[in-house]
A and B are shown apart, each in its own frame.
Chain A
Amino acid sequence: MRFAPARVRPALAAAAIAAPSVLALYAFLSAESGTRVSLVLAGSVLAVLAGWRSGLLARLVRTADERALVVALALAALGLIRAFHDDPFVLLLLSRALLVLVACLGLHVQLADAGVPNFAGAAFFGVGGYTAAVLGRGTLPHPAVLLASGAVAAAVGSLLLLPLLRTRGHYAALITIAFGLLFRTFFEVNESLGGPQGLKLGGFRVLGFDFNDDRQLLGVDYSGFAFYCLAALALTLLAVAFVRRLERSWLGVALDAVRLDETAAACFGISIGKWKIAAFTLGNALIGVAGGLSAMMVGFIAPNNFTFQESLVLVSILLLGGLGNLAGLAVASLIVVGLPEKLQTIQEYRYLLFSVLVVLVLVLRPAGLIRRAVRRPFGSVLP
């Protein structure tokens, strides 16, 4: 990259990261047979390892401009939607991965920024979904329904605020676990919201535009899921921009302080409780919005989709992506959501597989799969 003028180097580096990633993703999504999928995966892992060992990857990551990278990836995602325009299976998979990513961004604000554990992620996802199911039937415009999903999830989460503030560490974790289990059992025995059978939902509509309809645009037939994919992409971009802004502002510094050392933070006049409340509520709101859109996309919601296992899967994504690493989070969401769909043989074994993977990461690399970036007092963060 020496040859390029210094001003375009960050953009070039971003393109150099985005292009091969998207090619790999395209190959992964279009692979039909299990062998092809495995080959693509093995190839990608080898490429990343080679890039890592040679130091090329580290240099690219250091030079790349974050904003340029996000723009490049978003453009590439648009390209992928165009490429798979009439393949509902791939589009659904992509949208689900994006929505899971948004939910994980919520968990990221809670756990990776403020250090508040949340083992009820799937429950808050479900709260968002049920809110969308109930409000979506009414006359409320659907974008407002999504906002309401987030607000209700945050409100339900506020029930846990007092318990979470009075406890720490293991105890706080146990409270969220108990809540996740409680939520699921409650919706299973409570008949007013469909009981174990769950509820059906209509599709997402904005100004008379029904996202469920297939339609032709510029001479190309798009499956309805293409529009959900677009909406999920927009939501993801908003969430990423929001989280990054948060982290780079003084709010992020305060959250870091609360996570790293409560006593020291309190000594500097940072109100621990206030920041934990803020992070927990914001995180749940993000998870709830993702859950609302997801329920409208799938058209169906039942307590069985929000088990404790699913909450653990969300936390696994956070950990496998490298705690505090947004790019890793995106890759991990894609793999964790996409792999069981693409390799049907492991569908049944996915919880086992992911739990063993997380245990391996924790035991073999206690500092995390990818080391966490250190905040630099001025300018961007170091890799």
Chain B
Amino acid sequence: MDLLAQYVMNGVMLGLMYALVAIGFTLFFGVLNVIQFAHGDVLTAGAFAGLASYAVVVQAGVASPLPQLVTVALAATLSMAVLGAVLGRVLVLPLKAAPALNVLLATLMGGTALRESIRLFYPGGSQPQRFPTLLPTSSWSLGRFALRLDNLLMLAAGAVLVVALSLVLQRTRLGLAIRAVAQDEETARTMGIDFRRVVLLTFAIGSALAAFAGVMNGLYYAEVNFGSGLLLGVIGFSAAVLGGLGSFSGALLGGFLFAALQTVGAVALPFASAYKDVFAFGAVILLMTWKPTGLIGEQLSERV
């Protein structure tokens, strides 16, 4: 029972991270019909940006954790929002008319450049970096299961973020514009929507979410690695595909579903904890084979 609670908690945390990444993929696909394969590395870059800002804040003599936390979160999300918009402007928009393979390669290579830059130029970036503990570490013990306050806080923050984003998409003019562009770019343009602005803002929002997930990942595992975004990116993408690319709730569902699957795999095959990542990637391949266009499914017919 206690172990089960532990697994559920872990699964929910993972699910939230996956969902945050998947929402980014789904947003980008919605407005531009492209996959931004550098998204996972944007997540890593966000975590490292947070780490760097933490070092700066500590240097400046701020000792209490709350301002530190706020700085780390703001630095990570804002810098990645800018980076995401830049990536969209430089790598994706110019290639809009090119074959789909070109966007794929450009973002894949852009992500590699990002990952390699972190490895080469961040001090000690080739080694895993310790991520500071910024959240209160108190916990309530329920039987042998310890419910940790920091996990609860992260979950709450993530949930608030997801709800806020969904409100932005449903209730504001920007959200209306994003949905309009996603439905039909040309019509949206004729209605006076600034296409480029909307696309770049969408990239900024999605990348900020990834940065948040990156900081969460760092806080949860107390460690970040230059390659950790690669796994999260691949899983986030398949979660988005599983839920149906372009659908917000689908991405959410896909993220949690994937985490549930991984947790069940960990429970069912306890001897194979070393094969955790092998299992995750195998699941990606199997799921994509089983439902190539997602559980909800996009339109299959093709106009010639």
Q: B8-16, B55-63, B229-237, B257-265: which one contacts chain A?
A: B229-237
Does any Cβ of B come within 8 Å of A182's Cβ?
yes
CB distance from A353 to the nearest CB of B (A): 9
User: Size band of the B side of the interface?
Assistant: 35 or more
Q: How far is the CA of A186 from the CA of B274 in the complex (A)?
A: 9
**Contacting pair B234 A171 (CB below 8 A):** no
**Contacting pair A366 B95 (CB below 8 A):** yes
**Contacting pair A359 B234 (CB below 8 A):** no
Among A166, A349, A362, find the residue whose CB has the most chain B CB atoms closer than 10 A. Answer: A362
Tell whether A177 pairs with B112 under 8 Å between CB atoms, given A170-B35, A171-B292.
no
**Contacting pair A163 B285 (CB below 8 A):** yes
The one of A166, A169, A179 in contact with B281, judged by C-beta atoms closer than 8 angstroms, is A179
Interface string of B75-118 (1 = CB under 8 A from A): 00000000000000011001100101110111011101100110
**In the complex, chain B residues 162-206 whose Cβ is within 8 Å of any chain A Cβ:** none
**Contacting pair A356 B277 (CB below 8 A):** no
Does any Cβ of A come within 8 Å of B69's Cβ?
no
Residues on B with C-beta less than 8 A from A174 are: 35, 234, 237-238, 241, 284, 288
**Contacting pair B237 A359 (CB below 8 A):** no
The one of A160, A171, A362 in contact with B106, judged by C-beta atoms closer than 8 angstroms, is A362
Does any Cβ of B come within 8 Å of A309's Cβ?
yes
User: Size band of the A side of the interface?
Assistant: 35 or more
**Contacting pair B112 A363 (CB below 8 A):** no
**Contacting pair B292 A359 (CB below 8 A):** no
Does any Cβ of B come within 8 Å of A351's Cβ?
yes
Does any Cβ of B come within 8 Å of A312's Cβ?
yes
**Contacting pair B116 A351 (CB below 8 A):** yes
Does any Cβ of B come within 8 Å of A355's Cβ?
yes
Residues on B with C-beta less than 8 A from A355 are: 109-110, 112-113, 116
CB distance from A93 to the nearest CB of B (A): 23
Residues on B with C-beta less than 8 A from A264 are: 304
**Contacting pair A363 B91 (CB below 8 A):** yes
Q: How far is the CA of A263 from the CA of B113 in the complex (A)?
A: 36
Residues on A with C-beta less than 8 A from B238 are: 174, 178
**In the complex, chain A residues 154-208 whose Cβ is within 8 Å of any chain B Cβ:** 160, 162-163, 166-167, 169-171, 173-175, 177-179, 181-182, 185-186, 189
Residues on A with C-beta less than 8 A from B237 are: 174
CB distance from B42 to the nearest CB of A (A): 15
**Contacting pair A351 B95 (CB below 8 A):** no
Q: How far is the CA of A349 from the CA of B90 in the complex (A)?
A: 22
Residues on A with C-beta less than 8 A from B35 are: 170, 174
**Contacting pair B278 A185 (CB below 8 A):** yes
The one of B90, B105, B120 in contact with A348, judged by C-beta atoms closer than 8 angstroms, is B120
The one of B230, B241, B281, B292 in contact with A182, judged by C-beta atoms closer than 8 angstroms, is B281
Interface string of B234-255 (1 = CB under 8 A from A): 1001100100000000000000
Does any Cβ of A come within 8 Å of B270's Cβ?
no
Interface string of A353-383 (1 = CB under 8 A from B): 0011011001100100000000000000000
**Contacting pair B277 A352 (CB below 8 A):** no
Does any Cβ of B come within 8 Å of A325's Cβ?
no
Does any Cβ of B come within 8 Å of A117's Cβ?
yes
**Contacting pair B288 A263 (CB below 8 A):** no
CB distance from B111 to the nearest CB of A (A): 8
**Contacting pair B95 A362 (CB below 8 A):** yes
CB distance from B200 to the nearest CB of A (A): 16
Residues on A with C-beta less than 8 A from B101 are: 115, 117, 169
Tell whether A181 pairs with B277 under 8 Å between CB atoms, given A175-B285, A363-B91, A363-B95.
yes
Does any Cβ of B come within 8 Å of A315's Cβ?
yes
CB distance from A259 to the nearest CB of B (A): 10
Q: How far is the CA of A166 from the CA of B104 in the complex (A)?
A: 19
**Contacting pair B113 A356 (CB below 8 A):** yes
Q: How far is the CA of A263 from the CA of B109 in the complex (A)?
A: 30
CB distance from B26 to the nearest CB of A (A): 13
Q: How far is the CA of A319 from the CA of B104 in the complex (A)?
A: 13
Given A170-B104, A351-B116, 15 other A-B residues pairs in contact with their CB atoms under 8 A: A160-B285, A166-B292, A167-B289, A169-B100, A173-B104, A174-B238, A174-B284, A175-B288, A178-B238, A178-B281, A181-B230, A185-B281, A189-B274, A352-B112, A355-B109
Per CB-CB distance, the 7 closest pairs between chain A and chain B, nearest first, are A182-B281, A355-B112, A352-B116, A163-B289, A355-B109, A189-B274, A178-B284
6 A/B residue pairs, CB under 8 Å, sorted by A: A174-B234, A174-B238, A263-B302, A356-B109, A359-B91, A359-B109
